[in-house]
Amino acid sequence: MTYKYFAYFLSAFLVIFAVLFGWIYSIYRREKELLDEYRRLSSED
């Protein structure tokens, strides 16, 4: 049993993984920014 073409599978998998996690991380960052701004604004009040 050989694992021919394993590199192709791995790269496809890693691309999917990276894209999805990049997406989740960017949402998380944007959410964090908003919440920080919210806290700043509400503490000023």
Partner 1 sequence: MMESFYSKAGNRIMAIAISVLWLVVLYLVLAVTRIDPDQQMAQKIFYYHVPSAWTAGIAFLAVAVSGGFYLFTQNEKWDHLGLASAELGTLFCALVLITGPIWAKPIWGEPWSWEPRLTTVLIMFLIYIGYFLLRQFGEIGERTRRVSAVIGIAAFVNVPIIYVSVKFWSAEAQLHPQPGMSQQPADVYWTFILSLITFTLLFVHLLRNRLHLLKLQSQMSRMRDDI
Residues that bind partner 1 (CB under 8 A): 1-6, 8-9, 11-13, 15-16, 19-20, 23-24, 27, 30-32, 34-35, 37-38, 41
Q: How far is the CB of 32 from partner 1 (least distance, A)?
A: 7
Which residue has 């700043």 as its token pair? 40
Alpha-carbon dihedral of residues 22, 24, 29, 32, nearest 10 degrees? -170
Quote the least distance from Cβ 22 to partner 1, whole Å.
10
To partner 1, the closest distance from the beta carbon of 8 in angstroms equals: 5
Our CA angle for 30, 35, 39, nearest 5°, is: 150
